[in-house]
Amino acid sequence: MRALLVALALLLSACAGTQDGKTTITFWDNNGGPGRTPIYEELIKRFEAANPDVKVEYVGIPSSSVQQKYDTAIAGGSTPDVGGVTTSYLAHLAGQDALEPVDERLEGSSLKGKLIPGLLETVRQTASDGKLYAVPASGNLDVIWYRSDRFAEKHIQEPVTWDDLVKAATQLTDPAANRYGFTIRGGAGSVFQLLSEAYSYSGVEKFYDGGKSTVADPRNTELVRKVAELYKKATPEADVNNNYTQMVAQFTGGTVAMMHHNLGSTADVMKTLGPERVSAMPLPKGPSGKRTVLPNPTDGFAVFKGGKNTDAAWRFVEFLVSAESNGYWNEKVGQIPANTDVRGAAWIQQNPAVKMALGVLEDPATVLVPAPVHLPEYSSITKTDTEPLYQKVLLGQLPAQEFLDQLAAKLTTAQQDWEKRK
């Protein structure tokens, strides 16, 4: 039934135009669901009140299928007017000439000079022509969520290094009580998390060196081995198949004491456990002592060329990223607002996780190591090609070095092909 409703909504999106004297635009939410759909419904209500000549048709699509839905819509000439996107697949959409560059619109809008430069740069770098194909709306950071109450019970300090984390995970594990110190994401979405962990440990400062991927650096391999050695010893056995939902359920349900995810899980974690039982820390450092961060994909909004009302679509994007709307959305989901006018908001000072993340990203000593999300093949390489191989590493069927060698080879080839096309 759900699939039928989504299909009907996608079909209706092709019919957007002018109705009852109003311009109708279709907006696809790229992470639709009970957590975020109500936020957009409220923002749409506010937008329509301020813009009575425009009606917004909302379509919520699960993040797991949104890229496929975009591809289908592009091929069929039935794209929305506005779509939520992340830089993980933005290059793929731009490569199909499906999106309108918004550089000139941004330059002449109320958003000029109001967006975090680093987030703008992460969006620009996805395109081979350097143009801006989406307006960033939200930043994110990988964190370790941990049960501060259990740490206090065991008199364990917040881990600073990966060796500290491994030790804490062991101390917090009691299989007889179904309690484990850590949870591994072994299923869908696992490889990006693993790469974030590897680079935070290794201190390697570039994803490519001379056109060759650094993924297989021995220091990265060392971290993969450390994580794999935790499997079934300080983690549940089911972790080999963990996706995001299962991982969060284990953490909020009390089975595990530490979980690597990002600020996107703030609402789920805080709603269930509360600030008195849970805290967030940055990914630990490795032997180098450096803070090396693999930035999360940047969330934003794109205007589709195939849309029938691009001017009205831009007005909606501009509204969504305005200080008031951007602050509202990011406060609800617990992420970093792209609009710098939100920085002084009281909710940021009252949200330790977001405040900590801002501190990490703004620290001049922090080294950002952007993943090559500009590669059209990046998603398929890290997901379809590599996630099953990581499961073999966890099961002891594939050496960590061989696993990373295969991944690095594919990423190197993809980068070289992209350079040639560029």
pLDDT tens digits, 46-63: 999 999 999 999 999 999
- Specify the pLDDT at position 134: 98
* Distance in angstroms (rounded) separating the CA atoms of residues 329 and 327: 6
Contact 283, 144 (CB under 8 A): yes
Contact 76, 355 (CB under 8 A): no
- Specify the pLDDT at position 18: 57
* DSSP SS3 for 137: strand
85's tokens:
């996107």
Contact 79, 97 (CB under 8 A): no
Does the structure show a pLDDT above 90 at 251?
Answer: yes
pLDDT band (50, 70, 90) for residue 160: very high
Would residue 229 be called left, alpha or beta, if left means φ above 0 and alpha means ψ between -120 and 50 degrees?
alpha
127's tokens:
């395109």
> Beta partners for 116?
none
Q: How many residues does the chain have?
A: 422
Closest by alpha carbon to 189, among 297, 286, 284, 301? 297
Closest by alpha carbon to 363, among 141, 163, 111? 141
Closest by alpha carbon to 147, among 283, 247, 275? 275
Maximum pairwise Cα distance, the chain: 66
State the DSSP H helix or E strand holding residue 327, giving kind and residue range, or none if neither.
helix 323-333
- Specify the pLDDT at position 20: 66
* Distance in angstroms (rounded) separating the CA atoms of residues 172 and 69: 42
* Distance in angstroms (rounded) separating the CA atoms of residues 236 and 70: 36
Does the structure show a pLDDT above 80 at 12?
Answer: no
Cα angle: 302, vertex 303, 306; to 5 degrees: 130
- Cα of 297 vs its chain's centroid, Å: 5
DSSP string, 344-376: T-HHHHT-HHHHHHHHHHH-TT-EE----TTST
Contact 417, 378 (CB under 8 A): no
Contact 181, 173 (CB under 8 A): yes
Q: Report the mean per-residue pLDDT for the chain.
A: 92
Name the percent of the chain lying above pLDDT 70. 95
Q: Is 214 exposed, middle or buried (0-12, 13-18, 19+ CB in 10 A)?
A: buried
Contact 28, 80 (CB under 8 A): yes
Residues 12, 16, 19, 25, CA torsion sign: positive
Does the structure show a pLDDT above 60 at 14?
Answer: no
Does the structure show a pLDDT above 70 at 223?
Answer: yes
Contact 89, 31 (CB under 8 A): no
- Specify the pLDDT at position 4: 45
pLDDT band (50, 70, 90) for residue 264: confident
Does the structure show a pLDDT above 50 at 25?
Answer: yes
Closest by alpha carbon to 195, among 402, 353, 334, 387? 387
- Compute CA distances 19 → 25, 56, 58, 82, 315, whole Å: 10, 11, 15, 18, 18
DSSP string, 233-253: TTS-GGGGG--HHHHHHHHHT
Q: Is 323 exposed, middle or buried (0-12, 13-18, 19+ CB in 10 A)?
A: middle
Q: Which of 197-206, 344-353, 388-397 has the lowest mean pLDDT?
A: 344-353
Does the structure show a pLDDT above 70 at 16?
Answer: no
